[in-house]
Amino acid sequence: MTTPSHQPPKLIVPGQGATPQGNQQLFLANRNGTVTGAVQVKPVAAARTDPGFFKRLVTGLNPLRQNNRTAMAMSGLGGAALALDVAATLNLGNPFLFYDRRETWKEMSEALKGNGLNLWRAYFDKVPAHWKGTASEAIAQYMRFKVNDLFGELGKVGDEMSGAMHGQYKEVLEYDLSVFGLYAATAPVLRSLATMSTTHPVAKVALMTQVGVFTTALGNLVKQFADVYNSYEGDLNKLELKLNSLRAAFYNSGDPAQGARDLQLSPALTDPQRVGDMWMPKGADV
């Protein structure tokens, strides 16, 4: 039974009624109809606050980038160098977005596993001790062969998604720090060479050399980003296929628009006029 605490308990068979929300409970009754316990449905935690790392990184990177772009233009290699500068900095991302998704999937997985175990223990620890009959057997079979497996598969996908988001968080953070570190290390050198190149021909050559080294490093970073992107795109594609399979278990033809699959449970299970036939007391109270 699942109803808000201010309303009387009402039996809802899985798939034939409303599903519990975060502020609801699963109520358990004995053979006399007395509520003997309740299982809280655990909600997912609230959204996290962005610590602002990415904003501070971009704020610190902008003057370094402007300095290097000026040096690139003065070196005579501006066109190709500026194109790589744009490509490398456009690939910067906010790692918090992936951190947030990592934690969200982790919490979803934890909630699924916890609620699945709570539901299993709540039913098999309490209901069969007090009830037998067609309804009790039908729900027990559904719990064993449907609910348990689906909770388990959803939990596995949640674990894998959290792992994938952690991997992307790590890669994005490392990429951001690599770009910032490259600009921070080269900005003083390029600034000095750019200043000296206006009066010393040797400094002009040195500036061209250093800009060439810098653009090579930028090219390596862009290639690194492309390799990481393609790798995680493949991982996410595999997870999407798993989610499609799970969607097919819940919805007709795997399409939510076509509605949930019929669990083939008889409406008589919740018919108040047939409670005595469907739910029969079993033994004495425990």
Residues of the chain with pLDDT under 50: 1-5, 8-20, 22, 284-286
Half-sphere exposure of residue 29, counting CA atoms within 13 Å on the CB side?
13
Q: Angle of helix 78-90 relative to helix 53-75, nearest 10 degrees?
A: 170
**Burial environment of residue 161 by CB neighbours within 10 A (0 to 12, 13 to 18, 19 or more):** buried
Q: How far is CA 151 from CA 103, 110, 140, 168, 245, in A?
A: 19, 11, 15, 26, 14
Q: What letter would DSSP give residue 146?
A: I
Q: What is the pLDDT of residues 115-138, one digit of tens each?
A: 888 888 888 887 887 878 888 888
Contact 167, 128 (CB under 8 A): no
Helix (H), strand (E) at residue 180: helix 148-196
User: What own/partner pairs with CB < 8 Å and gap ≥ 24 does 64-67 have?
Assistant: 64/180, 64/183, 64/184, 64/187, 65/89, 65/183, 67/187, 67/190, 67/191
Q: Which pLDDT belongs to residue 174? A: 93
Phi, psi of 33 (to 5 degrees): 85, 5
Q: What is the DSSP letter of 27?
A: E
pLDDT at 172: 92
Q: CA 104, CA 205: separation in Å to the nearest integer?
A: 53
Q: What is the tens place of the pLDDT at every residue in 85-103?
A: 988 998 899 999 999 999 9
